Amino acid sequence: MNKFLRNTLASVMVLTAVVASAEATTHPAMLVTDDNIDNLNDQERAAAAWFRATYPEGVFITPEANLDINVQNVDCIWIHLDRLNMTPADIKALLPEATYKALAEFIAEGGNIYLSKHATLMLSKIGRIDAKFDPNIFGNGEGGKGTDVWALNAQIGYWQLNPDNKDEHRPEQYYDHRTHAIYADLEHGDTYNPPIDNFPMEGTGTGAEIWREDHNCCWDLNAYQFTADGANTVEKFEKETNSRVIGTWGHVQDYAVAGVVEFYAPKQPLSVRSRVGSAEGDGTQGAVIANGLACCEWAPRTGTNAFHNNLQKLTANIIFYLRSKLKSSGVTDITADAENDSAAAVVYYTMQGTEVNGNPAPGLYIRRCGSNVSKVIIR
């Protein structure tokens, strides 16, 4: 295979065909706690129904079917847990140890996992973080009615740019993740005062009431004891857990809350200052995205969520992003025998083989440098 690809557009088209063939043999999966999704609670049933409608090729797996979890047939597993009146220990006990072991092995083989709502508690159970960094903002109650709109903010440390900040501004401590691939095509809003460009996720948008259960399962970063250096708690958390904080509560302008976090392969530490470019990790282990924000609720009890489409897009983007990571790592070794390519220009192509003029927008591309061809994600 390594002599097959050449420094031509034809070689890129061949690589696209190879990737398309690989995509046809792997599927996204959703791990649910009952064989019949109609037996799930309202929140988990709504999420599972969307998954079934969105991914006809997708598969449902249960804890008893853990031996079927492997990267030969599954490229991404979504686990969504949203429970009333259950403690963190209760939620961790929903899956047997054998399933946690199988999930850890799936990641070790290069598979990727999306954990949402209470499922973020499973990070330490699959060996992704130390238990001392388990989510510590936890909600499991009935919630209540409200008229405001809840949002997701991808601008971490926005206070450093806010003109209302009368102290010294530190723009190097402002981390803008709005262009991350998981936020592609989401509707923007400014639902708080002072206004911050964010992503509205739950509310009627008309001032009418909606009932929300307020089930956060995320991180109060001020509550942990960090040993790593960093300019703020976000950087310290990222270094301690080899992660990147890419989302917080819609109104948060500082570094207090991590709501959406991307965890990288543990074998290659994250350079916090390198915040753009290709995905971190050494390609031998999978990634995990954990989203514990209460605003990402699938089935409000009363009222109509005017921003439900944002939740669907966010979920689809995360699944696509994680699936693409596995497929990318699977083709990076398809290269041609080459002369010295160190001085060759880098050219990007779309997945259809069209050359990209200028800097590519965030997304999945084929990258060619001389005779070296690989599949990359631009964020």
User: Cα 3 to chain center, whole Å?
Assistant: 35
Compute and round to an integer the Cα radius of gyration of the chain: 21
Single-letter code of the amino acid located at 367: R
- Count other Cβ atoms within 10 Å, centred on residue 280: 18
Task: Answer whether 260's CB lies under 8 Å from 290's CB.
Answer: yes
Kind plus residue range of the DSSP H or E element containing 366: strand 363-369
Question: What is the pLDDT, as a whole number, of residue 359?
Answer: 78
* Tokens standing for residue 205: 């948008």
Instruction: Give the separation between CA 312 and CA 318, rounded to whole angstroms.
Output: 10
Alpha-helix runs per DSSP H in 242-377: 308-331
Helix (H, G, I), strand (E, B) or coil at 29: strand
Nearest to 195 by CA among 161, 169, 241, 223: 161
Question: What is the pLDDT, as a whole number, of residue 334?
Answer: 26
Q: The whole model's pTM is what?
A: 0.79
> pLDDT by residue for the chain (379 residues), tens digit each?
223 222 322 333 333 333 333 344 789 999 999 999 999 999 999 999 999 999 999 999 998 765 567 888 899 999 999 999 999 999 999 999 999 999 999 999 899 999 999 999 999 999 999 999 999 999 999 999 999 999 999 999 999 999 889 888 899 999 999 999 999 999 999 988 778 999 999 999 999 999 999 999 999 999 999 999 999 999 999 999 999 999 999 999 999 999 999 999 765 444 432 332 334 444 468 999 999 999 999 999 999 999 999 999 999 999 999 998 866 554 332 222 333 344 567 877 765 456 787 778 777 777 766 545 566 777 6
What is the β-pairing status of strands 210-212 and 243-249? unpaired
Instruction: Give the separation between CA 267 and CA 41, rounded to whole angstroms.
Output: 38
User: Cα 349 to chain center, whole Å?
Assistant: 24
Reduce the secondary structure of 281-293 to three states and give it as a string.
CCCCCCCEEEECC
What is the β-pairing status of strands 210-212 and 199-202? unpaired
Nearest to 321 by CA among 283, 373, 376, 272: 376
Model confidence over 267-287: pLDDT tens digits?
A: 544 443 233 233 444 446 899
Question: What is the pLDDT, as a whole number, of residue 345?
Answer: 75
Nearest to 100 by CA among 84, 72, 119, 83: 119
Instruction: Give the separation between CA 302 and CA 77, rounded to whole angstroms.
Output: 30
